[in-house]
Amino acid sequence: MRFLFVYLAATLLESCESASRARSRQGKLMGVAAFGGGPPAPRVHDWARSVGKRDAPVVVEAFLDLMCPFSVKFYKTMRKDVLPKFGDDMKLVVYNYVQTWHWTSAVMAKASIAAGQLAPSRYFDAFDVLADLREKYTEQEMTETTYSQIVEELGTALSSEPASIPKEDFIQLMDPRNDLHSNLLTEVKFHTKYGRQNSIHITPTVLINGLVDNSISSSMSAEDWSRRLEFYKAQKIPS
């Protein structure tokens, strides 16, 4: 009986050690320590780039696809008409949210984020440039164009003022063969994961102070936004 007990205990210990080694191997394959660690996460809570007053009473989070005509229309209205008038009352946060049926969307999103990594203070200048290029990079226009050709063209466009992104640095960062490209992809995934966890589907989708507001439309004018901002600012949290 004692022999049987010792045998069973030894077998159980070996099984546990084997499972532990398997978890360790799996963790290493995933690039994560078997105990502790996890998938990459932003270093700060407000990691996404924003424009407007930092402590504004109204925070507008916009999930945009640079190849979506409605996203571009929404963004241009915000940049040209709304923010110059109401920038003290609001902060605009932009997430690059790729819609997979536009195959060039992923390239444009990477270009936007790459520009932000290379020149954080000129991120929105770069986003302006890319938004103006939407019609040039539709699927219909790009059927005979390679990824490298698109990156070369975007690098040239972004190197001019006001974005002034160093072209060679941009091309290197956009190159999947470059080690730094993994840092770019990590930030792309942050945008995607944040949208998915909030069940975002269409673009543009807008969150106001953390909650989705389905009444927001790309057709809203500066006057419409003026009324909406007054409404948002008037909201009181019950004591």
User: Looking at residue 24, what is its pLDDT?
Assistant: 45
pLDDT tens sequence across 183-198: 999 999 999 999 999 9
Distance of CA 66 to the CA centre of its chain: 12
Q: What is the arithmetic mean of pLDDT over 11-33?
A: 47
Q: Fill in the DSSP letter of residue 176.
A: T
Q: What is the arithmetic mean of pLDDT over 207-219?
A: 92
170-205 in b/e form (b: 16+ CB < 10 A) is: bbbbbeeeeeebeebeebbebbbebbeeeebeebbb
More confident residue, 131 or 15: 131
pLDDT tens sequence across 110-136: 999 999 999 999 999 999 999 999 999
Contact residues for 43 (Cβ-Cβ < 8 A; gap 6+): none
Edge-to-edge strands of the sheet including 90-96? 50-52, 90-96, 58-64, 205-208, 211-212
pTM greater than 0.75 (yes/no): yes
Query: Is the alpha carbon torsion for 43, 92, 96, 123 positive or negative?
Result: negative
Contact status, residue 115 vs residue 123, Cβ threshold 8 Å: yes
- Match 């290029």 to its residue by tokens: 133
Residue from 92, 94, 89 nearest 228 by CA: 89
User: Looking at residue 229, what is its pLDDT?
Assistant: 87
pLDDT tens sequence across 162-177: 999 999 999 999 999 9
Q: Fill in the DSSP letter of residue 90.
A: E
Rounded to 5 degrees, what are φ and ψ at 3? -60, -40
